[in-house]
Structure 1
Amino acid sequence: MTTVGIATGAGRGMGEACARRLADLVDVLLLVDRDEAAAASVAEDLNAAGHRATAEAFAVDVTDGAGLGRLADRVAERGALRAVAHAAGISPTMADWRRIFEVDLVGTALLAEALRPLATVGTAHVYFASMSPMIAGIDPTPDIAAILDDPLHPDFLDRIRDAVGPDIENTALAYPWAKHGVHRFARREAVRLGPAGARVCSLSPGVIDTPQGRQEATNHPSMQRLIDATPLGRTGRSEEIASVVAFLLSDEASFLSGVDILVDGGVYAAVRDH
């Protein structure tokens, strides 16, 4: 059976790095990005390099449910879903609070919903979250957690704003709340897909040297304090994140599911008790 992989946000940054690692794990690799030209450029490069996978670009916004349905149809046409590295996301300086929730949490849930019928023995998903909920100390009450656990509710955004309060409109707070939602969603999805023999984990990067990461550091001087506090004394590289993703999606991690993997150079360990 032909195996199919998906890398979202594959046109640049950590999504591209994940795509490059997955190119030798599957037979067909769909490079998903809003920027079709960027994804097509990566696909061309991968195909020219002679990897195992045939790479093809697939343009879609992860908040577009109909578009994600077409993505699922494309996977089914090409073979069996084997690996999903969902790196697409936006950070606090890139949009308002609603769009952050829509892309980072609702988009994750929409992608999972579209791909759920394709889960089979050996399918593995990794959803990108963040260390930010841990740094921010996000700890929802049961009522707020119940809202956060229903991101596809038609009134989700209004409900979460009413529950958390107007401070959620601060994108620096909306982002960790959305990523905390991804942590919770990954655990719940692991329970849903386990009976099919499929696995789900989330991955929480620390401060990673990408264009997006550099933009955040420029606009949020507090990020420099996190870099300074990192025991390894530096930012991470996209390739280091992709290496962990590749392990999580590999058969070597066949009993690993329902957990978050923190890849932050030790910064949370350094700041958690201070």
Structure 2
Amino acid sequence: MTNVGIVTGGGRGMGLECARRLPEIVDVLLLVDLDEAGAARAARALSETSPVTRIEPFALDVTDRDGLARLADRVAGLGTLRAVAHAAGISPTMADWRRIFTVDLIGTALLAEALRPLATAGTATVCFASMAPLLGGPASDPAVRAILDEPLAEDFLDRIRDAVGPSIEDTGLAYSCAKGGVHRFVSHEAVRLGPLGARICSVSPGVIDTPQGRQEAASNPTLGRLTDATPLARTGRAEEVAAAVAFLLSDQASFVNGIDLLVDGGVHAALRTHAASLH
């Protein structure tokens, strides 16, 4: 049977680095990206370095239910779903708070909903979250968490605004909250998929040197301070995050399920240690 892989946001950045790893475990790889031309360029380039694996671009907005249904149909027509790296997402400088929630959390839930019927023994998924919610924010509030656990509710955006208040319109806060929702979604989805023999985890990158990361750093001085606090004394590289994703998708991680893997150079540990020393 043909093994099929999917990388969302596969046209550039960390998604593209993940795509470089997947030909090791799949026969056909679908590069999903909103940027159709970018996905096509990436597919051509990867095809030159991975001639054994068939690589196809697939233009898609991950918030589009009809498009996601087409993606699921394409996978089913090709073979067995083996691996999904869901790297598509937007960061605080890229949109307003509603769009951030819609892409980063609701889109994650919609993708999982569309692909769930294809999950089988050996299927593995990794969703991109962030270290941001681990630094604090509304996602730690039990009332907010209860709402985050229902991202596909029709009134989700109104409910989250009512629970958090006007501050949710701050895009940095919205991003942190949405990514906290991804952490929780992965935990719940692992319970749903486990009986099928399928797995799902998330990765939470720290400050990573990508074009999107540099765009955020230029407008948010906090990211520079986080880099300074990182025990490894540098930003991360996209290929380092992709290596963690590749491990979680591999058979070597066959008993790793429902967890978040923090890839941050130790900055969260440093901040926790500093906080503990103040008490």
- 1:242 maps to amino acid: A
Give, in whole Å, the separation in 1 of the partners of 2:51 and 2:9. Answer: 20
Q: When the two structures are superposed, what TM-score results if normalisation uses the length of structure 1?
A: 0.98
Which range moved further: 136-145 or 189-198?
136-145
Tell me, in whole angstroms, the C-alpha distance in 2 between the residues paired with 1:244 and 1:186.
16
Q: Structure 2 regions of 5+ residues with no counterpart?
A: none
Alignment identity in percent?
A: 70
> Are 2:175 and 1:175 aligned?
yes
- The one-letter code matched in structure 2 to 1:245 is V
Q: Matched residues in 2 for 1:237 and 1:173: separation?
A: 24
Alignment partner of 1:207: what SS?
A: coil
Q: CA deviation at 1:26?
A: 0.1
1:163 corresponds in structure 2 to: 163
Partner of residue 19, structure 1: 19
Q: How far apart in 2 are the matches of 1:189 and 1:229? A: 33
- The residue aligned with 1:100 is 100
Conserved 8 A contact 2:139-2:181: no
1:80 maps to what in 2? 80
* Contact map agreement 1:26 1:52 (CA 8 A) in 2: no
Per-residue CA shift, 1:28-47, capped at 9, x if unaligned? 00000000111111111111
| Preserved CA contact (<8 Å) 2:96 2:169 | yes
What corresponds to 1:215 in structure 2?
215
Distance 1:51 1:176 in 2: 39
Alignment of 1:66-145 (within 5 A): 66-145=66-145
SS at match of 2:145: helix
SS in 2 for 1:23: helix
Distance 2:114 2:176 in 1: 25
- Quote the offset at 1:51 in angstroms: 4.1
The number of equivalent residue pairs is 274
- Alpha-carbon distance, 1:139 to partner: 4.5
The RMSD of aligned alpha carbons is: 1.0
Please tell me whether the aligned partners of residues 33 and 39 of structure 1 are also in contact (alpha carbons under 8 angstroms): yes
Q: What is the match of residue 32 of structure 1?
A: 32
Normalised by the size of structure 2, how large is the TM-score?
0.96
The answer to whether the Cα contact below 8 Å between 1:61 and 1:67 also exists between their aligned partners in 2 is: yes
CA deviations over 1:58-102 (Å, ceiling 9, x no partner): 000011111011000000000000000000000000000000000
Q: State the shift of 1:137 in Å.
A: 4.6
Structure 2 residue identity aligned to 1:227: T
CA drift at 1:140: 3.4
In 2, Cα distance between equivalents of 1:80 and 1:172: 38
Q: What SS does structure 2 have at the residue aligned with 1:67?
A: helix
- Shift in alpha-carbon separation, 1:236–1:51, aligned structure 2, 3 A: farther
Q: Whole-Å Cα distance in 1 between the matches of residues 147 and 120 of structure 2?
A: 29
In the TM superposition, residue 141 of structure 1 has moved relative to its aligned partner by 3.3
The one-character-per-residue Cα deviations of 1:130-173 (angstroms, maximum 9, x if unpaired) are 00001135453333222110000111000100011110000010
- What stretches of structure 1 of length at least 5 have no aligned partner? none
Q: Does 1:229 align with 2:265?
A: no
CA distance in 2, matches of 1:50, 1:178: 35
